[in-house]
Amino acid sequence: MKEKQQSLLLESAARFPPPKGVKLSYGTAGFRADASLLESTVFRVGILAALRSLKTGSVIGLMITASHNKVSDNGIKVADPSGGMLTQDWEPFSDAIANAPDPHSLLQLITEFVKKEEIGFEGRQPAEVLLGRDTRPSGEALLEAAKQGITSIVGAIGTDMGVVTTPQLHWMVRARNRGLEASESSYFHQLSTSFRCLMDLKPEGISKNGNDATLVVDGADGVGGEKLEQFKKMLTGLCIEVRNRGDGILNEGVGADYVQKEKVAPRSFGTADAGLRCASLDGDADRLVYFSVLPNENNKIELVDGDKILSLFALFIKEQLSILNEGVDKKGNDSYQARLGVVQTAYANGASTDYLKEMGLEVVLTPTGVKYLHEKAAEFDIGIYFEANGHGTILFSEAFLCWLEASHKTLLSTSEGSAKQKAASRLLAVSQLINQAVGDALSGLLLVEVILKYMGWSIHRWNELYHDLPSRQLKVKVVDRTAVVTANAETVAVQPIGIQEAINVEIAKYPRGRCFIRPSGTEDVIRVYAEATSQDAADSLASSVAKLVDQYLGFGSS
Ligand code: G16
């Protein structure tokens, strides 16, 4: 590294000293903490993003958001060249630089890393990073700090995309690196065009089943509600009402995380909405759940979570694939035996996993975090991944898409209007509609709406696909959440010693009982998930395991 570069780094780092006595770590989806602690971290992640851009010769993304967390928190997510999350190989470096105590130790870490990764500073195109932020009040100042980090690398450019949803930013990074236009209008254009195409391809004479009614969306008082309000004008054939568009406090009593965890209607929804098809986005619009308010039940809801969205998508894709393969000889001549697989986490309701396996699908389990699910889903020709909390998407392999495009072309010239040609058109349109960079509440919502129309299903019919086992999620505050270490896709706690045996004793008391604990990677808590055959049993299993967590690791309040 040249002297000029070194002094630029030292000089700018001196303006962003790290907070004293705080250790930050790259969690489930990047750094997250109280916003007042984050300036130095986002500045340093800005440097990392510029280095990543130099290393890959591609555009990188930085999103200032704390997603589902409370409004006073903030955070930073990094989008790699594919539009997916930052490669896990770079996470240790991000941890190290975030916690470097002073500019000189920061410079030393950077120098060593640049050498190890063989990052060249000359003779290549300059580093470029796209920046976005959600609606949090702390976002503007943090985005500026990130920009200063980026421009601490000589020649690097930070392009501010403004207030956007997290998936919009990831989509733009993916588009730019494929030589396509990366703007909000091109994003809206692609989604609305493929949505229209899928709507036009719905079978004729399908019964309506109440699905023509307005879809009512809870915008979590965040960026997603704002964007959907703008976008809905471009969507013909779908009537959307958006509530919680930013007048209330972000994520407080609203949003996908609240609705899914508490299983109650968000603010501004009540018994007057009973029976309506409703959806909820999270704070940065990368999660989506559906729900329907139950009549006379004190804001209780029928929850249609990420597992059900996954099941609906899997059903639809599987049907289109079988139409395409109808009449094809067993040797597979003239066909592509696409490997369709689904990816879930331990939070997936046991009934959903049974359902997907009964459909004959390959089901893979990974730890929590899109970075893990995405990686696994990419191993299939069509990989569908969803967390129960509503974060997920569909990935199509390049090889499959190549075959599909060629096959579609042939079908158009030989049998236009045939069932096969329409199935191929539908799959191609899905690959355009769904955000293949990352889970996206807006594109996911449009795909759900299209499939419900295609099936002629109401939200209630959809929810009947299978019956969820009653479940409960709790959070426990502990002294040090890193004391919990898990294995086997987070289904077993290997540390602290003895806690898993104690959990097993509790589980054994309940028929079909299942329970696990894990440290959150976005909040300072241990999460507890329990499932059993009745709600009372699930509640009681969760609360007895929460007590165990408190006894082993907590402040001794139980
Ligand atoms: C992030 C991740 C998700 C994860 C969630 C909760 O979501 O992207 O994959 O499920 O955090 O993680 P944890 O249980 O570790 O706190 P978001 O929407 O908050 O960015």
C-beta of residue 133 within 8 angstroms of C-beta of residue 62: no
The C-alpha atoms of residue 265 and residue 493 are separated, in whole angstroms, by 33
What pTM value is reported for the model? 0.95
Residue 299 and residue 333 in one domain: no
Kindly state whether residues 387 and 450 are assigned to the same domain. Answer: yes
Q: How far is CA 392 from the centre of its chain?
A: 5
Does the annotation count 67 as an active-site position? yes
**257 Cα to the center of ligand 1, angstroms:** 10
Q: Which residue has the tokens 């960079």?
A: 437
- The separation between CA 409 and the C-alpha centre of its own chain, rounded to angstroms, equals 33
| Residue span of the structural domain in which 516 resides | 471-553
Task: Answer yes or no: is 176 within a domain.
Answer: yes
Q: Is residue 200 part of a domain?
A: no
Q: What whole-number distance in Å separates Cα of residue 528 and Cα of residue 149?
A: 37
Residue 174 and residue 244 in one domain: no
Q: Total domain count for the chain?
A: 4
Question: How does pLDDT run along the chain (558 residues), one tens digit per residue?
Answer: 899 999 999 999 999 999 999 999 999 999 999 999 999 999 999 999 999 999 999 999 999 999 999 999 999 999 999 999 999 999 999 999 999 999 999 999 999 999 999 999 876 689 999 999 999 999 999 999 999 999 999 999 999 999 999 999 999 999 999 999 999 999 999 999 999 999 999 877 655 555 568 999 999 999 999 999 999 999 989 999 999 999 999 999 999 999 999 999 999 999 999 999 999 999 999 999 999 999 988 899 999 999 999 999 999 999 999 999 887 755 555 667 899 999 999 999 999 999 999 999 999 999 999 999 999 999 999 999 999 999 999 999 999 999 999 999 999 999 999 999 999 999 999 999 999 999 999 999 999 999 999 999 999 999 999 999 999 999 999 999 999 999 999 999 999 999 999 999 999 999 999 999 999 999 999 999 999 999 999 999 999 999 999 999 987 655
C-alpha to C-alpha distance for 368 and 392, rounded to whole angstroms? 12
Give me ligand 1 centre to Cα 68, in Å. 8
Whether the predicted interface score ipTM is above 0.90:
yes
| Residue carrying structure tokens 């696409």 | 338
Instruction: Give the Å distance between the CA of 28 and the centre of ligand 1.
Output: 6
Residue whose structure tokens are 């392009």: 159
CATH of the domain at 515: 3.30.310.50
Nearest residue by C-alpha to atom 10 in ligand 1: 369
Tell me if 204 is assigned to some domain.
no
Q: How far apart are CA 180 and CA 177, in angstroms?
A: 7
Residues with CB under 6 A from ligand 1: 28-29, 67-68, 282, 286-287, 368-370, 387, 389, 391, 520-523, 527
Same domain, 91 and 231: no
Residues 457 and 313 in one domain: yes
Domain boundary among 464, 480, 502: 464
